[in-house]
Amino acid sequence: EVQLVESGGGLVQPGGSLRLSCAASGFPFRSYAMSWVRQAPGMGLEWVSTIGGSGSSTSYADSVKGRFTISRDNSKNTLFVQMTSLRAEDTAIYYCAKDLAGGSYNFDLWGRGTLVTVSS
Amino acid sequence: DIQMTQSPSFVSASVGDSVTMTCRASQGIHSWLAWYQKKPGKAPNLLIYAASTLQSGVPSRFSGSGSGTDFTLTISNLQPEDFATYYCQQANSFPITFGQGTRLEIK
């Protein structure tokens, strides 16, 4: 089955760290760029980060640059984001998303999301 | 950064109606625009990419048009399952940006 399954969300204190994972199945994972997109409570969608298929190229939103690190393990079909120095405004549902094709940066497959809550 | 502005923010319509919503980019993005449908508690669903290409499996009552800075999404013959929030997204350059959304509700 073609799917993405996120994990690793939870409650963390401001300034803390968290690592999210996204397990992919049903498609040639290494052939596609992957991204993280988040949605804060009551807000719209916000792109967070993208990584190329080989893992050598990455991009970040200014809001997370220097605090979040995206990576992937193509041998395990898994996408990661390491989040540090977390802030209240990072509270959101985090979705991993698959690129449609060829670096289109449109997202045709999404996970169900994992909730990150940053609060003391 | 390219800003995406959607209008209206909210629209009310009835089953069987047609609705059109717009998305404007702060600078030209050629046809690098996608539309997504988002329902509460569910992941976003890609409807349209490259401004006017219907994603596989999406009903033909959805259509997109535009290029450069101005884009539209039209939904014809609204069905109950279409009531949701719709987001546009530019893929022309990083940072990737979404519009703030248009919420479509049942009249």
Angle at A74 between CA A70 and CA A77, to 5 degrees: 90
Mutate to test the interface with A, among B2, B96, B97, B100 (most CBs of A within 10 A): B96
pLDDT of residue B58: 98
CA B36 vs CA A31, B15, B24: distances in Å: 23, 20, 15
pLDDT at residue number A3? 97
Q: Look up residue B55 and give its DSSP letter.
A: P
| Cα dihedral sign, A54-A57-A63-A67 | positive
Spatial neighbors of B41 by CB under 8 A, at least 6 apart, are none
Task: Find the mean pLDDT for residues A55-74.
Answer: 97
- At residue B39, the pLDDT reads 97
pLDDT at B94: 96
Tens digit of pLDDT for each residue in B70-81? Answer: 999 999 999 999
Please indicate whether, in this complex, the C-beta atoms of A61 and B95 are within 8 angstroms of each other. yes
Does the pLDDT of residue A12 top 90, yes or no? yes
Cβ contact B38–A45 (<8 Å): yes
Strand ranges across the sheet with A68-73: A3-7, A18-25, A78-83, A68-73
Tell me what the mean pLDDT of segment B5-23 comes to: 97
Identify the residue among A51, A106, A112 best suited for mutation to test binding to B, counting B beta carbons within 10 A and taking the highest: A106
Q: What is the mean pLDDT of residues A34-44?
A: 97
| Strands B102-106 and B10-13, bridge-based pairing | parallel
Checking if the pLDDT of B102 tops 90, the result is yes
- A35-39 mean pLDDT: 98
Q: Could you please report the per-residue DSSP string of A47-99?
A: EEEEE-TTS--EEE-TTTTTTEEEEEETTTTEEEEEE-S--GGG-EEEEEEEE
**Nearest-angstrom CA–CA distance, A23 and B91:** 24
Is the CB of residue A67 less than 8 Å from the CB of residue A84? Answer: yes
Query: pLDDT tens-digit profile of A65-112?
Result: 999 999 999 999 999 999 999 999 999 999 999 999 878 899 999 999
The pLDDT score that the predictor gives to residue A115 is 98
Q: Per-residue pLDDT tens for B88-100?
A: 999 999 999 999 9
Taking the CB of residue B56, how many other CB atoms lie within 10 A of it?
A: 7
Average pLDDT of chain A? 97
Cα–Cα–Cα angle for B26, B30, B33, rounded to 5 degrees: 75
Mean pLDDT, to the nearest integer, of A22-47?
97
Integer Cα distance of B35 and A56 in angstroms: 28
Q: Report how far residue A83's alpha carbon sits from residue A116's, in angstroms, rounded to the nearest whole number.
A: 10
Q: Is the Cβ pair B43, A62 closer than 8 Å?
A: no
Task: Tell me: pLDDT of B105 over 90.
Answer: yes
